[in-house]
Structure 1
Amino acid sequence: MPIRNVLIVDDSKTELLYLGDMLRKAGYTVVTAENGEDALRRMEQSRPDLILMDVVMPGQNGFQLTRGISRDPRYAGVPIIMCTSKNQETDRVWGMRQGARDYVTKPVDQAELLGKIKALG
């Protein structure tokens, strides 16, 4: 299934603007959420084809949210790419164990991210 609709979950307005602009210019439709609760609400309104997930957020962190989404039968097929400043190998491994399909670190390299998205589609 081609990826068209992307949900970006990040508590940083700057990151939401940067990633959203990058993806819109590449032809994707983008919806944003600033926390886990907001992300789940957005997903109920419109199921995304892909989720870009930050890790460090208030309330539910990205690892917890990824685990919950990947185990929910309604969203289990939606790929998640962790998009975070946490760049330790243990973070990467833990993110993948929670259900993420891939992992990129901030600052995000545009070519790398778009390549990973294309590979998932």
Structure 2
Amino acid sequence: MKIKKILVVDDSPTDRYLLADILIKQGFEVETADDGDVALNKMRLFEPQLIFMDIVMPGKNGFQITRQIARDPDLKHIPVIMCSIKGQETDRIWALSQGASDYIVKPVDADELLVKIAAVVQ
């Protein structure tokens, strides 16, 4: 499957912009959301093929939203890559146990980001 549509979920306008900018320059169609509830609505409308999910957000955090995606029959096919400033190994392990496909630490390196995307489609 070739990924074309990506949803970026992050409460930081700067982080949303930086990640979206990298992805758009690589030819992806990008939609953004600033919290988990908005993200869940956009998933159903935009139908992304990949989601980049921040962890620390107001309301439901990224772990909770990822767990919700993994349990939803209509959404569980969408891979989630957690994208956070939380760089501890325990955060990565917890993210994967919640249903995330991978984990990347901010600030995001464009080359590493593309490697992570390629790995998800394998």
**CA-CA distance at 1:70 after TM superposition:** 1.1
Equivalent positions of 1:32-111 (< 5 A) are 32-111=32-111
Partner of 1:11: 11
C-alpha separation in 2, matches of 1:117 and 1:82 = 12
1:59-103: per-residue Cα shift (whole Å, max 9, x none)? Answer: 000000000001101011100000000111110000000000000
**CA-CA distance at 1:118 after TM superposition:** 1.5
Contact 2:31/2:46, CA 8 A, preserved across alignment: no
Give ranges in structure 2 of 5+ residues lacking alignment: none
C-alpha separation in 2, matches of 1:42 and 1:114 = 23
**CA-CA distance at 1:53 after TM superposition:** 0.2
SS in 2 for 1:103: strand
Runs of 4+ in 1 over 6 A off after TM superposition: none
C-alpha separation in 1, matches of 2:100 and 2:114 = 16
**TM-score where L is the length of structure 2:** 0.97
Output the aligned Cα RMSD: 0.6
C-alpha separation in 1, matches of 2:54 and 2:116 = 16
Give ranges in structure 1 of 5+ residues lacking alignment: none
C-alpha separation in 2, matches of 1:96 and 1:120 = 13
Identity of aligned residues (%): 54
Aligned pair count? 121
1:8-56: per-residue Cα shift (whole Å, max 9, x none)? Answer: 0000000111000100000100000000111011112121000000000
SS in 2 for 1:107: coil
